Amino acid sequence: MDQRQKRALRSNMIAYSFIIPSLFFLVWLGVIPLAVSLFVSLTDWNYTKGFGNWNFLGLKNFIDLWSDEWFVASLKNTLVYTIVEVPVSILLALVIAAAIQDYCRDKYSRVLRTVMYMPKICNIVASSAVWVALLSSYGPFTLMVKALGWKNPPRWLADYHWALPSLMLVSVWMSLGYRILLYSASLQSISDELYEAAEIDGASKSKQFFKITIPLLRPTTFFLMITGIIGSFKMFGTTNVMTQGGPGHSTYTLVYYVYKTAFSYYRMGYASAIAVVLFVLLLIVTAIQWNHNKQAEANL
């Protein structure tokens, strides 16, 4: 073995020494739990009876899900929440970030972005508790709505039809600053020469926004869309603190139903089946979005 081969071998060994610990923890904390969850979803395991104390049911848990009123409601609520919250928050973040970029001075824009980012770093339990107070019958939000002319506003979190939109409002507020920050960073990377050339050609501000800004922000939008969908499917904290899934099953989500089924009713096998369905849904949505983004980039 010559010196060149020895140096290459040494370099590879150093690289593997960094990679192997990460692979070990990936397998230990990711692949193995996933495999165990898949197996448990095929059983009726009640974890209070000890590990290995289960009966194999095959696909019965997955079949029973679709006749379970609470699962169907949880799935519906999760999909509605995702379809509404993610696009609304991304659109608002894009518009606000562009407005800050165009109309605020640098020192003010930095302060404004920092202030808007604060909800992201606040404790989710504390933020949810504050919003419970804001949305109460005598809370500031309800009083503001009355002052604007709505004489008999609903009891937001106690109303079957308004509880889920209230959670959407809180989630948009919590995530908006983070998305504005990412869009602002991406906007600053766009060359001013593109806008100057478009302006010379007679393009209006709105046309520049739709023809230059939005296409060049596609990678950021794709990232925010994927992470937003995954985050909305995992929504648990605000639901647990603000509504506990109620009233009725109006704010039950898939993750909250997994939690209740596993740790309140001790049906770990059934809960694992719900978790597997959630995993498959996320996999499908991510694959579709990824394929769509690749095709869109190819057509640019």
Residues 6+ apart with CB under 8 A from 127: 119, 170, 174
Could you list the mean pLDDT of each consecutive 10-residue stretch along the chain, which spans 300 residues?
74 84 86 88 86 86 93 95 94 92 79 87 90 91 90 90 94 92 90 85 84 89 90 90 91 94 91 92 85 69
Cα(241)–Cα(254) distance, rounded to whole angstroms?
16
- The pLDDT value recorded for residue 82 is 93
* CA-CA-CA-CA dihedral for 55, 59, 63, 65, to nearest 10: 60
Q: What is the pLDDT of residue 286?
A: 82
> Which of 170, 9, 182, 21 has the alpha carbon at shortest distance from 97?
182
- The pLDDT of residue 297 is 66
Report the C-alpha gap between 44 and 64 in whole angstroms.
Answer: 12
- Residue spans of beta strands (DSSP E) within the chain: none
247 token code pair: 């009233």
Residue with tokens 């939008």: 221
The pTM score is 0.86
